[in-house]
Amino acid sequence: MAKKTQATAVNPKDMTIEEKLRALYDLQLVDSRIDRIRTIRGELPLEVQDLEDEIVGMETRVGKMKEELSAIDAEISDRKNTIKDSQALIKKYEQQQANVRNNREFDSLSKEIEYQNLEIQLAEKRIKEHKVKIEMVKKNIEELESKLADRQEDLKHKKGELDDIVSETEKEEKQLLLRSGEFETFIEERYLSAYKRIRSNSFNGLAVVTIERDSCGGCFNKIPPQRQIDIAQRKKILVCEHCGRVIVDDVLATEESDKVTSFIKF
């Protein structure tokens, strides 16, 4: 079939059954390659998107940790102010003790001083706890930012790889689409319609398959020996009795694969 792609006046109805089978298999080879390209191109953006989502999540976590640090710093500042206020009150109460008129007033001020000292101790304890927590959070931020930097570098390379692959596959797909259109001109409308219908209803896009281990290469149901012989004779276009796919013999498939591969990059 490779040579016939150079002609434009071939009437599909004038072609032999074998030529029609070869044309159908050529078309399948090209269309399968297009399918693979689109699958690859469909997966790569998802990989990049997953990486971008992971980075956004990590950036969000870093941001929350930094907000937590700010909140802890504010809490430490409040505790320090509490200590200053308590120290000021202690000084005030001690001055008042010097001028009390009875023991009851002195004892009352002593209790206030004791309470403020407890407030100072509690504030100092909380400050120490907050400082320990700050060190832990800073360590977590440092580790996460290191991982984030690695992911960002991965994303940079992945995007570059994606751009290259997309550019390359788009160019190849364009070439393959032209070839697919050429091959379609060698196929009768009724066969072409059936081919497209089967492809659209197939999960793997296969409408023309080979025999694999005495079975249909599409649905893997067994093919009777006599039918395998009939397929190899190429006197009729035979389809799988179970899935309706056109079946070609291995020899024809190998010959056409070699021809198509010679002028299309696989």
Least confident span in 87-96, 172-181, 204-213:
172-181
- Given this model, what pLDDT does residue 65 score? 96
Q: Is the pLDDT of residue 4 over 60?
A: no
Q: In this structure, what DSSP letter does residue 264 have? A: S
Q: What is the pLDDT of residues 219-232, one digit of tens each?
A: 999 999 999 999 99
**pTM for the structure as a whole:** 0.55
Quick one: average pLDDT of 163-189?
86
Question: What is the per-residue DSSP string for 180-241?
Answer: HHHHHTTS-HHHHHHHHHHHHH-TT--SEEEEETTEETTT--B--HHHHHHHHHTSS--B-T
Query: What's the chain's average pLDDT?
Result: 90
Average pLDDT over residues 238-253: 94
Residues in the chain: 266
Q: Does the pLDDT at position 264 exceed 70?
A: no
Which domains, from first to last, does the chain contain?
Answer: 3-263 (1.10.287.1490)
Q: What is the pLDDT of residue 125?
A: 96
- Give pLDDT tens digits for 32-62: 999 988 887 777 788 899 999 999 999 999 9
In sequence order, what are the beta bridge partners of 57? none
Q: Is the pLDDT of residue 8 over 60?
A: no
Residue 2: its pLDDT value, please?
42
pLDDT at residue 248 greater than cutoff 80? yes
Rounded CA gap, 51 and 154, in Å? 8
How are strands ordered across the β-sheet holding 215-216?
215-216, 208-212, 246-248
Question: Has residue 7 got a pLDDT over 60?
Answer: no
* pLDDT (0 to 100) of residue 195: 95
Integer Cα distance of 190 and 12 in angstroms: 11
What's the Rg (C-alpha) of the chain? 40
Cβ 176 vs Cβ 37: under 8 Å:
yes
Exposure of 175 by Cβ count < 10 A (0-12 exposed, 13-18 middle, 19+ buried)? Answer: middle
Can you tell me whether residue 248 is helix, strand or coil? Answer: strand
